[in-house]
Structure 1
Amino acid sequence: MNAPHPAKVAGIDSTVPSPAHTVASAADASPAAPPNTPRPAGAPGALLQDRLAGWVSDLTTLHELTERLARTDRLQDALQELLRAGAALVGARRGLVVLEPADGLGPDTTAGLGLARADLGHIETVPRSALSYGRLLDASAGPPVAEGGIAEPDLFSEKGLDPRHREVAARLGYAASYALPLSTERTGRLGAAVWLYDEPAEPRERQRHLAGLYTRNAAEHLARLLEVERTRTRMATMTEELLPSRLPRVPGVQLAARRRTGPRGGGDWYDALPLPDAALGLAVGSVTGSGPSAVAATGRLRASLRAYAVMEGEDPVAVLSDLELLLRLTEPARSATALFGYCEPALRRITLAGAGHSPPLLIGERRTEFVETSVSAPLGMLACWEAPSVELQAEPGETVLLYTDGLLHRTGDPVDRAFARLHAAAAGVPRAKRHDPDAVADHVLRTVLPDGAADADCEEDVVLLAVRFDQ
């Protein structure tokens, strides 16, 4: 009968340099030499230098890995970097990290390395108590977990292994695992990370020590990014709540809107308000600044404009004059651009007034042109704002595109080139899509900001409001 094979000891991945030192045991030491005998190469001084070289190598490895982690500024990117670095340190090929903050405020998420979404789904079907990361996440309700984490060097030789766990491990092809908790003193539990081995294996003591140091540092970084992610989510929620929950349905026109918010939350907004006599109030604008104060100012400005539009919407100049006075009295340190239009769908006519805002774009079968608006200053910049209104007469089937300056700024081009790019994008809308304002807005957004720039993090907000007149 053959004796069972001992579990393999995992080695550090070749992508991370391993220390070149070896330390001789006391049993292998040579007998004491005479006093005048030259010191051999394996003397204590050489052993000490070898050990110091190993420590320096370990510290260098940790420094490089933590530097790479520190350069991540998105939570998902940081989770992936944590998995890659941890796999290199413990000598694994695959792994997953489960983020589950103890305060219950989320976000709860799972990220995998070398595991597809379906693979993660299979693992999640295993009872939580049968998984090493599950025991770490629920450690607060049970006995304390050893600082070195939980190693399962040979899953299939373990007595009492959950049948479902055995089935999933065989299906995904892993035979061992090593899990570490992710927590900080300030936030408590954040989650847990587990790395999977294709064959029976476990990390050595030195590898566990390095992985433990790295994950403690990583947990602090994850805690900071977690707060940033929560702030972004709150800001996005606040901003969305301040905008129309849905666009009104008014006979004679079709409406579509698009908005992209910067990571800190900005002050770009839009509105479409049904008015008496089957009219429609259209508005886009931008408040200076970003963050909670800008979002709050946006909400106040939009609510005030709605009230002024109901009272005197037929006179867009009066609407913006009232808005400018309110802004100067209540927000003396802030300015804003705005464009308000009184739309009469039955006549296909819009009366416009602008305050330092970019001109609308008229898109039709036979013409694509910017609407000439009078030159005016932003609200709050002058002692008294005033500018004449202009009238826009559209043809059946034409679309008027209102937008904020963020659409131009995100291109990174000079202003004249950005306007040219916007004009070319509007002129290039396929004929089959021109009957749908949603398709027009999407085409313009994708063309002006290609390669995902419309969704990328940027300080500038983007707002589009498309108004199509029926045939």
Structure 2
Amino acid sequence: MVNEGAEGRRTRTLRAEGALKALTSGPDSPERVRRVLEQALVFAGAAFAAVYTPEEDGDLLCLVESAGVPRTLYGLRDSYPRSGSSPVADSHRSGSPVWLGPEEPAEPVEARRTPPRDFFLAVLPARGDGGGGCLLAVGERPDGFDTEDRKCLELIADAVGCPAPARSAEGGELPADAFSLAMDSGRVEVGDDILELFAVTRAGFDGKVETLLGLTVPEDLPSLMSVVEADHMSIGDRELEFRVLQPSGPPKWLRLRGRLLPGGEGRPATLVGTVADASKLRSEVTDVARVQRLAAMLATAGTVRDVSQAVVSALLGPLQADRIALAELEGDRLVVTVLEPPEPESWPELWRLEWRSEWPDAPVRAMPTLAAALREGRAHIWPAGTPLEPALADVGPGGLAVLPLPAAGRMAGACLIGWDTPHDFGPDERALLTASAGLAGQALMRAHAFDAEHELVGMLQRQLLPRRLPKLPGAVAVARYLPTTAGLEVGGDWYDVIPLPDNHVALVIGDVQGHNAGAATLMGQMRTALRAYAVEGHPPDVVVSHANRLLMDMETDLFATCCYVDVDMEEGSAWYVRAGHLPPVLRHPDGSTEAPDTEGGPPLGVLAQADFPMSVLRLQPGTVVALTTDGLVESAEADIDAGMERLAHELSVSDPAHLGLVADALLGNARRSDDIALLLLRYDGMALRPLRESWTVWRVPEAVGHSRRFTRRTLRAWSVSRDDADTVLLVVSELVTNALVHTDGQVRLGLTLLDNRLRVSVADSSPRTPVKPTSIGWEATGGRGILLVEAVSETWGTVPVSGGKQVWAELVLSP
């Protein structure tokens, strides 16, 4: 709405008269009626306006044109019986206006979701040249339609006219640019101009709509099918643009405007409308299709920035504006999301000083005129020469438009549009700005919710998957995860790399059924469980069996697939287990590939008593092991076998020296209809293998002495110095003694030497971790063992092992 004071409000009716006079002076057409209705949005503050006219031979008042937000927000019907009790029928019969507030009972709506807030309804008889119809307007302002609003609505009702519902007369000829499609049979009558646009002769046209659809660009066919199929087309207006193939040259853009008219009494529903050459229409600034194109762009805009870019694309060029800014309202500050053009010198100096170069935000109170516009909640337009504060005046010296963006009962932000040269604001531009503001505000709120959900999903996925892969002895591992491109972007695919004792590494990849937060949560639980079972030292089949029993005990209907590979880095061998999952793919050093066809078990969570057979792999230095989920190798276009062959081929021609590039190349052509997890390991072999010896400690009185003699012999064979050997013997004595005194069952001593680091480990059957005492008195006879181990060792710790534990200590030996 124009920024107007009391004097402006008194002249609003005069301006409405001038705008309507200009519109009604042209030829009668559906486009003229719609532009007249748009004046209700501009001058009466309506959110929606429509005209209903009676059928020629029926008992219905049918909606023939509308403007504004979708009517479904208010539950308005496409038609009302003349003899019914609706406000439309009451106004039509009585010839008097009907004004209803939100608290007054009425039946203008059908069963629907509750509107986001209360609204006011106005129905006025339309006494134009057509006669016999009604103008319906919906307002959302808290005070309803004031006196000036009602006067403007009366003017619009007189000017709108009442075009009859367009229906092909039996045996009559259609206008050259019109068509009439019977929705039950698909037979279509078309004018000569339409046939010329499709490059079809009258003699060569068989009257079937499929014939015309076959001449369109395939990418545009789904949108057209949504119009011509009765199951998808709703009663009311529809407008879209599509391309039609030409005998030579590029496709031609056409625009379809149609309306589905209800059938009855044996008469089928009919789609009537026009088709025109869109290349002649696309340059019109006042074209209503621009608002519809903006709505289509906003419907697919997922983020706040996407919404902002859509608004810029829809308004900057058509309005021939010099700059546009879109900002969100957060508290009392405006946070700018898009500036076009983005160069700082294109904007007022005050903006550059207050908002700095990155334009973060600015207080609304710094621009009182803008603050007032946001409070009022209407579009404001200031022509050239209007005195404004410098922060706004320099945005549009030739004219400035401020569009508050309403959404869910509050202001979501504001859009500022500025011109450098004096700009004449016509009624069509005002209507375009008003309609665009409402669409942008709602889309901005949806984008905020999407951004918040997307950030939550991303955080959840990042927390459930490994943050980084560990460095491995004798191998390099890389992983990639891609969420599906549709939906919530969170799923059940996971991977893990688990370092194990004795230079073993577990590779895990899995997939939980589903693509939702429940699947992701279960994925996190399964990954944690498998890691815990693996660290305990179980073999692969036991690890997977434990995970299967755990999933069976959970209260869930979901299942999971998994492939678990235990790689021995010292020996170059691996044992793996499959639970309903794809086998690993091996790339050998000579470039050949192999996907072992071995037996596997069922998915996890399906059978309580399931067998998971183990299979062996032999790895030569330079071998690449690839584990993936089915999202990489299976799609609607190709089965899983073809996908595995493609993966093996791409792996064979890759350069394993750069494993990260290999992973990126494998994912480059992925069809992301599903989540994808990929884990690659290149086995290089250990350049230096550790020395290992072990000893079973028998529970006899001389057990500690036997352990010391075994250790002394081993250290002598490894050429460990006498001073270092004495320290190692002390650690062995204390750890073996603690195990014999405080546990039952078997005790086993292990010694490992690698690069001047000696590891002493003692495993027992007790899960209790030794506790380091906080203080020991002089009279105490025990408790000093762990303190001695800690004092002479570089580091020490304990890990669970198969129902018991392993206490270990590492010492740095002299060179």
The answer to whether TM tops 0.5 is yes
2: distance between equivalents of 1:205 and 1:127? 35
Figure out how many residues of one structure are paired with residues of the other and give that number: 411
Q: Which deviations, in whole Å up to 9, do the C-alpha atoms of 1:342-370 show, x marking residues without a partner?
A: 11112222211011111112123312222
**Rg larger for:** 2
Alignment correspondent of 1:464: 678
Alignment correspondent of 2:529: 304
Assess if the C-alpha contact under 8 Å between 1:69 and 1:218 holds in 2.
no
Q: Are residues 1:74 and 2:302 paired?
A: yes
Q: Are residues 1:270 and 2:271 paired?
A: no
Alignment correspondent of 1:372: 597
Q: Are residues 1:356 and 2:570 paired?
A: no
2:292 to 59, 64, 75: 64
Q: Structure 1's 142 and 194: CA in aligned 2 closer, same or farther, altered over 3 A? A: closer
Q: Structure 1's 19 and 197: CA in aligned 2 closer, same or farther, altered over 3 A? A: farther
The structure richer in helix per residue is: 1
Alignment correspondent of 2:505: 280
2: distance between equivalents of 1:122 and 1:442? 45
Q: Which deviations, in whole Å up to 9, do the C-alpha atoms of 1:50-107 show, x marking residues without a partner?
A: 9438999989547624642454152244333323333467553652323455599x9x
Q: Are residues 1:226 and 2:448 paired?
A: yes
Alignment correspondent of 2:476: 254
1: distance between equivalents of 2:618 and 2:20? 76
Alignment correspondent of 2:403: 180
For 2:649, what is the secondary structure of its paired residue?
A: helix
1: distance between equivalents of 2:297 and 2:367? 26
For 1:387, what is the secondary structure of its paired residue?
A: coil
Q: Which amino acid aligns with 1:81?
A: A
Q: Structure 1's 285 and 397: CA in aligned 2 closer, same or farther, altered over 3 A? A: same
Instruction: Give 1:198 deviation, angstroms.
Output: 4.5
Q: Structure 1's 60 and 112: CA in aligned 2 closer, same or farther, altered over 3 A? A: same
1:97 to 299, 322, 326: 326
Alignment correspondent of 1:84: 313
2:438 to 201, 207, 216: 216
| Structure 2: unaligned runs, 5 residues or longer | 1-18, 26-127, 131-154, 164-236, 238-256, 258-285, 686-815
1:321 to 524, 527, 545: 545
Alignment correspondent of 2:811: none
Q: Which amino acid aligns with 1:178?
A: A
**Taking structure 1 as the reference length, what is the TM-score of the superposition?**
0.74
Assess if the C-alpha contact under 8 Å between 2:624 and 2:681 holds in 1.
yes
Assess if the C-alpha contact under 8 Å between 2:344 and 2:352 holds in 1.
no
Q: Which amino acid aligns with 1:52?
A: V
For 2:510, what is the secondary structure of its paired residue?
A: strand
Q: Which deviations, in whole Å up to 9, do the C-alpha atoms of 1:219-257 show, x marking residues without a partner?
A: 123312321222121011111111112111121111111
2: distance between equivalents of 1:110 and 1:122? 17
Instruction: Give 1:137 deviation, angstroms.
Output: 9.1
Q: Structure 1's 162 and 67: CA in aligned 2 closer, same or farther, altered over 3 A? A: closer
Alignment correspondent of 2:638: 413
Assess if the C-alpha contact under 8 Å between 1:360 and 1:401 holds in 2.
yes
Instruction: Give 1:418 deviation, angstroms.
Output: 1.6
Instruction: Give 1:421 deviation, angstroms.
Output: 1.9
Q: Are residues 1:444 and 2:671 paired?
A: no
Assess if the C-alpha contact under 8 Å between 2:373 and 2:404 holds in 1.
no
Q: Structure 1's 295 and 316: CA in aligned 2 closer, same or farther, altered over 3 A? A: same
Q: Are residues 1:22 and 2:23 paired?
A: yes
Q: Structure 1's 179 and 224: CA in aligned 2 closer, same or farther, altered over 3 A? A: same
1:204 to 426, 443, 447: 426
2: distance between equivalents of 1:137 and 1:159? 14
Instruction: Give 1:203 deviation, angstroms.
Output: 2.9
Q: Structure 1's 179 and 48: CA in aligned 2 closer, same or farther, altered over 3 A? A: closer
Q: Which deviations, in whole Å up to 9, do the C-alpha atoms of 1:6-44 show, x marking residues without a partner?
A: xxxxxxxxxxxx9995357xxxxxxxxxxxxxxxxxxx8
Assess if the C-alpha contact under 8 Å between 2:295 and 2:439 holds in 1.
no
Higher relative contact order at CA 8 Å, sep ≥6: structure 1 or structure 2? 1
| Structure 1: unaligned runs, 5 residues or longer | 1-17, 25-43
Instruction: Give 1:398 deviation, angstroms.
Output: 1.9
Structure 2 counterparts to residues 160-171 of structure 1, below 5 A: 161=390
1: distance between equivalents of 2:314 and 2:161? 21
Instruction: Give 1:339 deviation, angstroms.
Output: 0.8
Q: Structure 1's 135 and 48: CA in aligned 2 closer, same or farther, altered over 3 A? A: same
2: distance between equivalents of 1:62 and 1:53? 24
Q: Which amino acid aligns with 1:359?
A: P
